[in-house]
A and B are shown apart, each in its own frame.
Chain A
Amino acid sequence: MILRNCSLFLLCLLMACTKSEEETITEFELHFTQSWSGTPISSDALNNVQFQNEAGEKLTIERLRYLLSNIHLQLSNGTKIPLKAFHLVNIQKEESLKKTLTTFVAPKDIEAVSMLFGFENETNQDGIYPDLNAVSWNVPRMLGGGYHFMQLDGKFKNKMGALAPYNFHAIRAVDKTDPENLIFEDSFFEIEQPIEATASRIRMSIDMDVSQWFVNPHLWFLESDATSLMPNFEAQKRIAANGKSVFSIQIESY
């Protein structure tokens, strides 16, 4: 009799816990995908001359790494809940393309997800992230230090018909005309997506349309701007401007 009563009590307790957890926990599955004008880019097709930018230049994508930071939720009561301080996506490293995160927030309270491309200035301090140092993600101190926002490398067919390298690297824009007095301009930007969750599991697909880096608002000609873009102040500002139309986020709750 005592045993049966105890079992019933335990069962009730477990049910209460389960119900409570369902209401206050949301699980996120972040998928980082890359595409070219709607066609997925897969890592096994790198090195092929298979893309063409808006300027008509044919190109390969051989390396693509980019950093998203301050990934957080915006709640209906105005608070912000951090999900991840930063995440480095490497198209050649499968483990970087998916991340599962859990928050103690009820799905109904979530209004939006927000993140930054690159680092904001306060968090972009030189050498402070050992895991990013370990993968040589740093920016030279002569350019202000800190970290890359993106490394997009490949080759394009130039006017002579030869393949020529390009290094489309994004960093905090810096004018180093006077090396003793560097002038910076913010080149990180925010990516935001409203969320209307109906269940406690949310699949978030964050897609980078790589073709957009070369289009809007600045039509990009690799023929004239392909390499040594890190110390190129104007190029960095144009990269940041073009980046605003690069990302899209699809939300699915289930």
Chain B
Amino acid sequence: MRQGVYLLLLIGFLAACKKDDPETVQGPTPYTLEIPSLFAEKLIAPVFPANNPLTEEGVALGEKLFFDKRLSLDGNISCASCHMPQQAFSDRRAVSLGIRGQEGERNAMPIFNLAWNYDDRFNWDGKALSLEEQAFRPVTHPKEMGNNWINVARTLQEDAEYPDLFERAFGIREIDSIVITKALAQFERTLISAQAPFDQFLLGQRNLTSRQENGLAVFMDEERGDCFHCHGNENNPLWTDNDFHNNGLDTDFADIGLGAVTGDPADNGKFRTPSLRNLTRSAPYMHDGRFQTLEEVVNHYSEGLKPSATIDPLMKKVNQGGVQLSPQDKADLIAFLRSLSDPNFGQGIGSGVE
């Protein structure tokens, strides 16, 4: 008899649960990131923080925010103003212009394949310890967007669309800096570049020209370019080690880079290795945008190295000025580097958003 009562209670309880199910609020839809076959084959899985998984709604919101100029104090600057899709999400200027036309401090880094930055250190100096943190700073930097987060949150809260979009993405209508930077980081993690001619070569879909072949050989030859120790190789399709090096730009540093973050003088003059992908659209080069052309960059490593206490030992011929490439090897190296640029990267992103 007593067992029968318990059974009835259990059935009632289960029925009650079932009744509630259709009313359960649906969470955001998980985003399926299409990982390029070369990346899947050659690299370990990309980094996604457990507290900010990619969702369809979060990525779409991040894209909208990325192009929204209302993040800046005067309404004239969006993330995309300095990280332009057509420039591989970098800037044509050596240093970008912020609000009131103020010049920034460093060259805007391109944005792609950032989910594969395993050490999770971003910016030229590694100051940001996640993509979310990276997205935090430009909004309040006086030379960039010059705004404050309370103002940004209020502006978006008063918008007709945003509260709904945040609710769909994160389940809350109250907008703050945390969810804004989460959405921006989600969008940035979906920016993947892996369709360069050299990728197609690795996939067996095309051949290299003889000049590109020699350029690759120069790149991989420890006795010539020796670029691979910092910039990767056919088995590291990121074309960066995402590590920090002093590549011999200066003897005295106007900007000490990583050293200002760690406080260790041994890190002075060190900056994060940029990827070599999309160089044809990410000029000018280096942390201060000092080089306008790839020819200038190659000349720097060939004859222009400057000694300093922290210069990386991989700049092995610093006492001879550099690796002393022949004119032919320089030209071929550049031909190879150009083959790492993806002509379609960035197309269609941001279209239709303000």
Whether the Cβ atoms of B310 and A47 lie closer than 8 Å is yes
Which one, B44, B222, B309, B314, contacts A134 given CB within 8 A?
Answer: B44
Whether the Cβ atoms of B44 and A165 lie closer than 8 Å is no
Whether the Cβ atoms of B223 and A138 lie closer than 8 Å is no
Which one, A136, A167, A230, contacts B313 given CB within 8 A?
Answer: A167
Which one, A135, A138, A228, contacts B316 given CB within 8 A?
Answer: A228
Q: When each residue 104-143 of chain A gets 1 if its CB lies under 8 Å from chain B and 0 otherwise, what string results?
A: 0000000000000000000000110011011110101110
Selecting from B165-173, B183-191, B227-235, the interface stretch reads B227-235
Residue B31, interface by CB 8 Å: no
Residue with the greatest number of chain A CB neighbours at <10 A, chosen from B41, B44, B217: B44
Output the least CB separation between A166 and chain B (Å): 6
Q: When each residue 308-324 of chain B gets 1 if its CB lies under 8 Å from chain A and 0 otherwise, what string results?
A: 01111111111100000
A135 to B118, CA, bound (A): 9
Interface size on A, residues (CB 8 A): 32
Q: When each residue 231-242 of chain A gets 1 if its CB lies under 8 Å from chain B and 0 otherwise, what string results?
A: 100000000000
Residue of A nearest to B229 (CB): A136
Whether the Cβ atoms of B234 and A127 lie closer than 8 Å is yes
Interface residues of A in 136-188 (CB under 8 A from B): 136, 138, 140-142, 151, 153-155, 162-167
Residues of B within 8 A of A151 (CB): 229
Which one, A131, A163, A226, A227, contacts B44 given CB within 8 A?
Answer: A131
A131 to B118, CA, bound (A): 10
Which one, A130, A134, A135, A162, contacts B319 given CB within 8 A?
Answer: A162
Whether the Cβ atoms of A227 and B217 lie closer than 8 Å is no
Which one, B42, B220, B241, B315, contacts A135 given CB within 8 A?
Answer: B241
Whether the Cβ atoms of A127 and B313 lie closer than 8 Å is no
Whether the Cβ atoms of A228 and B223 lie closer than 8 Å is yes
Residue B236, interface by CB 8 Å: yes
Interface residues of B in 197-231 (CB under 8 A from A): 217, 220-223, 226, 228-231
Contact status of A142 and B319, CB under 8 A, knowing A47-B309, A130-B43, A153-B314:
no
Residues of A near any B CB (own CB < 8 A): 44, 46-47, 62-63, 126-127, 130-131, 133-136, 138, 140-142, 151, 153-155, 162-167, 226-228, 230-231
